[in-house]
Structure 1
Amino acid sequence: MSKLTLAEGAGSFLFRDDGAVPAPRTMRVFSYCPRSSSPDTRIIVAMHGVDRAAAEFRDLLAPQAERNGQIVLVPEFDPDQFPGVHAYNFGGVRLPPPDNTVLPRDRWNFAVIDRLFQHVRQAIGSSRETFGLFGNSAGAQFVLRYLALNEAASVDMAVAANCGCYMLPDLAKEYPDGMGGIGLAPSHLRRYLGRSLVILLGDADNDPDDPHLPRWDEAMAQGPHRLARGLWHFEHCAALAKSLGVELGWRLEIAPGAGHVDQLIYDQGANILKG
Structure 2
Amino acid sequence: MAYRDQAFPDRALHLHAARPVGWSPAMPVVFVHHGVRRNGRDYRDYWLAHVDAGGFLAIAIEFPDDSFPEYLWYHFGNLRTKDGAANPPEAWTFGIGPRLFQALRDQGITTAPRHGLFGHSAGGQYVHRMLSLGYREHVAVAVAANAGTYAMPDLGIAWPWGLGALGLAQADLPPLLGFPLTILAGTEDTGTTGAHFPKGPNSMRQGPHRYGRAHAYVRTGRQAAEALGMTLAWELIDVPGVGHDGARMSDAAAPLIAERLRR
Task: Bin the TM-score by the shorter chain.
Answer: over 0.9
Deviation per CA, 1:139-180: give whole Å up to 9, x if none: 000001100112420111100000111111122222112112
Q: How many residues align?
A: 259
Query: What is the DSSP-based 3-state SS (H/G/I as helix, E as strand, rest coil) of the residue aligned with 1:29?
Result: strand
- 8 Å contact from structure 1 (residues 148, 188) kept in 2: no
1:65 aligns with 2:51: yes
- 8 Å contact from structure 2 (residues 98, 135) kept in 1: no
Q: Name the residue aligned to 1:240.
A: 224
Q: Name the residue aligned to 1:171.
A: 155
Q: Which runs of 4+ in 1 moved over 4 A?
A: none
Q: Name the residue aligned to 1:270.
A: 254
Q: TM-score, normalised by structure 2?
A: 0.93
Query: What is the DSSP-based 3-state SS (H/G/I as helix, E as strand, rest coil) of the residue aligned with 1:164?
Result: coil
Q: Per the alignment, do residues 51 and 151 of structure 1 end up closer, same or farther by CA in structure 2, a change over 3 Å counting?
A: closer
Query: What is the DSSP-based 3-state SS (H/G/I as helix, E as strand, rest coil) of the residue aligned with 1:110?
Result: helix
Partners of 1:250 and 1:139 lie apart in 2 by: 18
Q: Name the residue aligned to 2:239.
A: 255
Which deviates the most, 34-43 or 47-56?
34-43
Specify which of 181, 193, 196 is matched with residue 197 of structure 1. Answer: 181
Q: Name the residue aligned to 1:15.
A: 3
Partners of 2:113 and 2:3 lie apart in 1 by: 19
Q: Which amino acid aligns with 2:211?
A: L
Q: Where do 5+ consecutive residues of structure 2 fail to align?
A: none
Q: TM-score, normalised by structure 1?
A: 0.89
- 8 Å contact from structure 2 (residues 79, 91) kept in 1: yes
How much does 1:15 deviate? 2.4
1:27 aligns with 2:13: yes
Partners of 1:56 and 1:239 lie apart in 2 by: 37
Q: Which amino acid aligns with 1:225?
A: H
Specify which of 5, 29, 39 is matched with residue 43 of structure 1. Answer: 29
Quote the sequence identity (%).
Answer: 35
How much does 1:26 deviate? 3.8
CA RMSD of aligned residues (A): 1.6
Deviation per CA, 1:181-224: give whole Å up to 9, x if none: 22222222221111111000111112233443210112112222
Q: Where do 5+ consecutive residues of structure 1 fail to align?
A: 1-12
Partners of 1:266 and 1:38 lie apart in 2 by: 23
Query: What is the DSSP-based 3-state SS (H/G/I as helix, E as strand, rest coil) of the residue aligned with 2:93?
Result: coil
Which deviates the most, 146-155 or 134-143?
146-155
Q: Name the residue aligned to 1:8.
A: none
Q: Per the alignment, do residues 76 and 132 of structure 1 end up closer, same or farther by CA in structure 2, a change over 3 Å counting?
A: same
- 8 Å contact from structure 1 (residues 89, 142) kept in 2: yes
